[in-house]
Structure 1
Amino acid sequence: MNKFDNENGQEKINEKKQIIKNIINLKKEKNAIILAHNYQPREIQEIADFIGDSLELCIIAEKTDADIIVFCGVDFMAETAKILNPAKKVLLPEIMDTECPMAHQLPPEIIIEAKKENPDAKVVIYVNTLASAKALADATCTSANADKVVNLFDEKTILFGPDNNLAYFVEKRSDKTIIPIPKGGHCYVHKMYTLEDVKKVKAEYPNSELLIHPESSPEVQDVADHIMSTGGMVKHVLNSPVDTFIIGTECDMISRLNIELEKVGKSKKLVPLRADAICNPMKHITLEKIETCLINEKYEVNLDEEIIKKAKVAIDKMLSLNK
């Protein structure tokens, strides 16, 4: 590395430090908070006020007294924050390419048609859906509480979407008949995982525990040591006596786990089940975009009032489990 490269590298470090300083000042000036999902890059997680999974961030969004919520995640997450805080300004630092592909697999018309075919069924949909879909649900859920939400209802038949693998996970843990909607609904990241992946990494780390997200395929769930949400993974890794974990979810979950381990002075071996398990829409938010977002107060999330009202009923049903 020559002198020019050293100087250029230091300049970039100084620029990054200045951007972070500006973000901190803007947050204070505007009474704003930054929420970041576990799949955000580490540098975004490090400047967030709160990091979490979908359920944890829903709870925080509902309780915040901030005037502005900057959501570092994908589109449905920012919409959920707006539903829970209709009077607050909710900002998504980037609107291009931050759509969750799975959320868009369940448009309202599919739910409407399924309800016609199953009029006695309750509708439970993953929080990973758009607000227009949530407005048609009896309850929302996350991967952390899906089985508990389904069991809130007396009805034996549940329309559940959009993730078919999470539907499999739920049906195994309830006495309900789960009808997945749409057929084939999935997360493209978790669908990557195969039994061959498990065999390969387990052979390299035979004394490890395999932690699998319930959006993964049934055959991969069935060989996991633990199936859990990302929030569940944080608690388990921090408290388990095991030293090595294979992480079967989006790669930046390892960033979150390392941050939490560093806070308590622990060090553990964290191995991705696949190094290419990357949610591309999560990576389009940058420090520069957060700074610009706070300066210009855009891109603001706006939703129809009637959709907010109906969707909030479904979300509140889920959140009642935590009250």
Structure 2
Amino acid sequence: MSSQTFKRQLPPQKYGDVSFPAPHIMLVIFNRPQALNAMTSEAQYELESLFSWYDSEPSLRCAIVTGAGRAFCAGMDLKQWHRATTCRANGEHDGQQMMPRSGFGALSRRHGKKPVIAAVNGLAFGGGMEIVSNLDLVVAAKSARFALPEARRGVVAMAGSLPRLARTIGRPRATELALTGKVITAAEAREWGLINAVTEDGAADCAVLKRPVVKAALGYAMDIINNSPDSVIISRAGIVAGYENGSAENASRLLSENMDSALKEGENFREGLKAFAEKREPRWVDSKL
């Protein structure tokens, strides 16, 4: 693991196993394998603190999420959800929502500043699928499976995936997933445009960092961190703005108005051009955006 010195203290985590496998890269393992990494409300608020810290920590430039055991994430802890629903029905409610404003696992409605890559190692059901639908890049092992089974339990995928999936894979396929609860394979997910790549499966006892799917995600992350961190942040902002707001022209105008000056005033803008002129590799500095 890479040893890094951070300017801000890493928030404590019980659910997420956090490590730094290479400079500038954070790896988060959803670590509740006995429950297929189903998330409690507490876990989601922990992850919200973690990803807020990630965005504000200058030395980090890309994050990867994966799951311990045989699942990526099987969604919400339904037993806790049932208890919370019963308490509300009895007027016993502490006022805190089951999930944070940034959505399920702090990722399904996250805008954020820096990219997050999913390395889907197994089941991505319910909330796990909602996370996948909003991440920047998704790599899946061949045996990974994706589904929105909420309708079979009398609930609805309300954490942001439905409108996002309609845009990503189209209304007919999004409808098929949400209304039937159909389970799709990694190959189907790639064919539908939901994920970027499919890898071989790792052995059952394979260490997380040796899984082909995590290695592939790390490959993407290394490609990202080799580029200007300023350019990555601003390019991602332009993609997210167009995806979320629908108007390509309006998103382009806002990106130019809000970010062009910040880019050109930054050290990395000058370094990139200088390195090209001097025929050498650029030496990027941590982004100040």
Normalising by the residue count of structure 2, what TM-score does the alignment of the two structures yield?
0.28
Normalising by the residue count of structure 1, what TM-score does the alignment of the two structures yield?
0.26
Higher relative contact order (Cα pairs below 8 Å, separated by 6+ residues)? 1
